Amino acid sequence: MPSPHVPELDGLRLLVGIAQHASIGGTARANGISQQAASERLRAMEAQTGLTLVHRGARGSKLTPAGVVVAEWAARLIEVADEIDTAIEGLRGDRSRELSVWASMTIAESLIPRWLVLLRQRQQGEGHLPTAVSLNASNSSHVVEAVRDGTAHLGFVEGVEAPRGVRCASIGHDELVLVAAAGTPISRRRTPLSPAEVAELPLTSRERGSGTREVLEVALGQQGLTMGDAVVELTTATSIREAVLAGSSPAFLSHRFVSRDLDSGHLVVVPTENLDLKRVFRAVWVGTRQPPAGPGRELVSIARAAEQRLGHQRTGAK
Question: Within this chain, do residues 185 and 47 fall inside the same structural domain, yes or no?
Answer: no
pLDDT score for 95 = 43
What residue type is 80 in one-letter code?
A: V
Question: Within this chain, do residues 38 and 183 fall inside the same structural domain, yes or no?
Answer: no
pLDDT tens digits for range 127-159: 777 888 999 999 899 999 999 999 999 999 998
Question: Within this chain, do residues 87 and 101 fall inside the same structural domain, yes or no?
Answer: no
CATH number of 301's domain? 3.40.190.10
Residue 208 pLDDT > 80, yes or no? yes
125 CB burial (10 A radius; 0-12, 13-18, 19+): exposed
Question: Within this chain, do residues 76 and 14 fall inside the same structural domain, yes or no?
Answer: yes
Q: How many CB atoms lie within 10 A of CB 141?
A: 18
pLDDT score for 155 = 96
Question: Within this chain, do residues 239 and 302 fall inside the same structural domain, yes or no?
Answer: no
| Confidence bin at 92 (pLDDT 50/70/90) | low
Q: Which residues pair with 269 in a beta bridge?
A: 179
Q: Are strands 132-138 and 251-254 parallel, antiparallel or unpaired?
A: unpaired
> Rounded to an integer, what is the distance from CA 307 to the centroid of its chain?
12
Cα–Cα nearest to 15, from 36, 42, 51, 34:
42
pLDDT score for 156 = 96
Supply the range of the domain harboring residue 137.
94-165+291-317
* Spatial contact of 131 and 119, defined as CB atoms under 8 Å apart: yes
- How would you classify residue 287: left for phi > 0, otherwise alpha for psi between -120 and 50, otherwise beta? left
Residue-wise DSSP of 131-180: PEEEEEEE-HHHHHHHHHTTS-SEEEEEESSPPTTSEEEEEEEEEEEEEE
Look at 52 and 126; give whichever has higher pLDDT.
52
